[in-house]
Chain A
Amino acid sequence: MTSYALRRLIIAAPTLFMIVTLSFFMMHLAPGGPFDAEASLEPEVIANLEAAYDLDKPIIVQYGFYLGKVARGDFGPSIIYIDRTVTELLVIGLPVSIKLGLSAMILALAVGGSLGVIAALRRNSLTDYAVMGVAMTGIAVPSFVMAPLMSLLFGVVLKILPVASLEPRGGLAEALPMLAPITPYILPVVALALPQIAILARLTRGAMIETLRQNYIRTARAKGLGQRNVVWTHALKSASLPVISYLGPAAASILTGSVVIEQIFQLPGMGRFFIQGAINRDYPLVLGIVVVYALAVILLNLIVDLMYGLLDPKVKVE
Chain B
Amino acid sequence: MRLLTQLTVTLFCILALPASAETVLNRSGGSDPSSLDPQKATGNTAAPILNELFVGLLTTDENGRMTYGLAESHTMSDHGLVWEYKLRDGLKWSDGTALTAKDVAWSLQRLMLPKTAARYAQFFYSVKNGRPVNAGQAPPESLGITSPDDKTVRIELSAPNPLLPQALSSFSAMPSPRHKVEELGDDWTKPGQFVSNGAYVLDEWLPGTRLTLKKNPNFYDAQNVEIDTVNFYPTQNLNTVFNRFRAGELDAILNFPPEQISWIKENIPDELRISPTLGIYYFLINAKKPPFDDIRVRKALALAFDREALIDRLLNTGVIPAYSFVSPVVEGYDVARASIADMPMADRIADAHRLMSEAGYGGNNPVTFELAYDTQEENRKIAVAMKSMWAALGFNAELMDTEFRNLNRKARTRDYDIMRWAWFSPFNDASGYLNLLRTGDPSNYVDYANPEFNALMNQANSISDQEQRNTLMRQAEQILMEDYVIIPVFHYVSRRLVKTYIDGWNENARNNYLARYMTVNRPD
On A, residues with C-beta under 8 Å from B are 30-33, 35-45, 47-49, 51-52, 80-84, 89, 92-93, 148, 151-152, 155-156, 159, 162-167, 169, 263-269, 272-273, 276, 279, 281
Contacts and interface: CB of A to CB of B under 8 A. Distances in A.
Contacts of A84: 207
Contact of A82 (B35, B115, B122): B35
Given A81-B34, A276-B31, A159 B409 contact: no
Contact of A83 (B36, B406, B409, B443): B36
Interface in B361-397: none
Interface stretch (B269-277, B324-332, B421-429): B421-429
Contact of B34 (A31, A40, A80): A80
A92 B119 CA distance: 27
A77 B119 CA distance: 17
Sort chain B's interface into a size bin: 35 or more
B235 interface: yes
A163 B207 contact: no
B442 A40 contact: yes
Contact of B443 (A40, A155, A164, A268): A40
Nearest to B130: A44
Given A30-B405, A92-B208, A266-B208, A83 B35 contact: yes
Contacts of A43: 442
Contacts of A38: 421-424, 443
Contacts of A40: 412, 442-443
21 contacts: A31-B409, A38-B424, A41-B442, A42-B125, A44-B122, A45-B117, A47-B135, A49-B119, A51-B114, A81-B32, A83-B36, A92-B207, A159-B247, A163-B244, A164-B235, A263-B236, A264-B239, A264-B240, A266-B237, A266-B240, A268-B209
A267 B208 CA distance: 7
Interface string B276-302: 000000000000000000000000000
A156 B243 contact: yes
B186 interface: yes
Given A169-B249, A269-B208, 18 more contacts: A36-B408, A38-B421, A44-B134, A45-B117, A48-B114, A80-B34, A81-B34, A82-B42, A93-B208, A151-B240, A159-B247, A164-B240, A165-B233, A166-B208, A266-B208, A266-B209, A279-B404, A279-B405
A38 B135 CA distance: 22
B405 A152 contact: no
Contacts of A265: 240
Contacts of A148: 239-240, 243
A268 B243 contact: no
Given A42-B442, A49-B117, A266-B235, A156 B409 contact: no
A36 B42 CA distance: 12
A283 to B, nearest CB: 12
A265 B233 CA distance: 12
Interface of B: 31-32, 34-37, 40-42, 114-119, 121-122, 125, 131, 134-135, 186, 189-190, 206-210, 233-237, 239-240, 243-244, 246-247, 249, 403-406, 408-409, 412, 421-424, 436, 442-443
A83 B186 contact: yes
B109 to A, nearest CB: 15
- Contact residues of A: prevailing secondary structure: loop
Q: Give the 8 A-B CB pairs with smallest separation, nearest first.
A: A268-B208, A32-B405, A40-B442, A82-B35, A52-B117, A31-B406, A36-B408, A44-B135
Nearest to A38: B423
Contacts of B115: 48, 52
A155 B119 contact: no
B210 A167 contact: yes
Given A268-B206, A268-B208, A263 B35 contact: no
Contacts of A169: 247, 249
Given A40-B442, A155-B243, A48 B117 contact: yes
A33 to B, nearest CB: 8
Contacts of B412: 36, 40
A36 B190 CA distance: 27
A166 B117 CA distance: 34
A44 B131 contact: yes
Contacts of A152: 243
B239 A165 contact: no
A304 to B, nearest CB: 30
A164 B207 contact: no
B167 to A, nearest CB: 14
